[in-house]
Amino acid sequence: MELRTEALRLLRLADPAAKAQAVRERFAALPAADPALDLPEPAGLPGRPERPRLVQPKDVPTRSPFTREGRAALLHAIAHIEFNAINLALDACWRFPGFPAAFYADWFRVAAEEALHFTLLRGHLRTLGADYGDFDAHDGLWLMTARTAHDPVARLALVPRTLEARGLDATPPLQAKLARAGDARAVEILDVILRDEIGHVEIGNRWYRYACERAGLDPEALYPTLVERYAAPRLRPPYNEAARRAAGFSQAEIDWLTRS
């Protein structure tokens, strides 16, 4: 099956474990992409389970890693981010025609790595007596994905290199808390996630710059405009500048971020 058609099929799967397994299996035998294919959007995207219940971000309670239930809730929140990240990578694969074939292969690879992250987190969550769907969650990642569905430049600017890049900053402090709570396995899983997410954000940066260059746009000058136009969240320090540099952010972009 053609890669982009397959990405759309997988995006429609609702069962998280089945979706994660299927994405990883298909990545092992990746088909070719047809960049010219114009796929109609089906109803009901993305496929996802009835639980977790989705609420406003302000209604998701604060989670402490220093109790078993609090740590389970915290890891559930991260698993939810990774499940959404599978969906947004698959969505980038099928939605935007006209990119080089490498664009679609890159995003399918991201989906497969996010599927691994989700699988690792869900497995650890179950050792704490919980499972994915047991806690409320919010839909912030997918809302921005939907908001930018008509504009690949905005999608690349505001999902991988804004919302996902927040994980580069948040992960080391979170690892420190989990280490103090005695959860060495969670720290190990977050090591894997941080390593891979640097690569995912780099993919977002690289294709954002490609899309801007193709359209005759200045990527650094355009970015603040897109943040305002789409009401992207304002990022707050501390920033993991080393990880951001490794992910392809320029010093000028990091300077803008720290001044904002």
- Render pLDDT for 205-230 as a digit per residue (tens, 0 to 9): 999 999 999 999 999 999 999 999 99
Phi and psi torsions of 137, nearest 5°: -145, 170
The pLDDT of residue 234 = 84
- State how far the Cα of 86 lies from the Cα of 64, in Å rounded to an integer: 26
Structure tokens at 118: 């989700």
The pLDDT of residue 1 = 83
pTM, rounded to two decimals = 0.96
Q: What is the pLDDT of residues 57-67, one digit of tens each?
A: 888 888 889 99
The three-state secondary structure class of 131 is coil
How is the chain split into domains, by residue range?
3-259
Q: What is the pLDDT of residues 90-147, one digit of tens each?
A: 999 999 999 999 999 999 999 999 999 999 999 999 999 999 999 999 988 899 999 9
Mention the CATH class of domain 3-259.
mainly alpha
Strand partners, 104: none
Mean pLDDT, all residues of the chain: 95
Q: List, in order, residues 6 or more apart from 20 with CB less than 8 Å away.
A: 83, 86, 115, 116, 118, 119
- For residue 8, the one-letter residue type is L
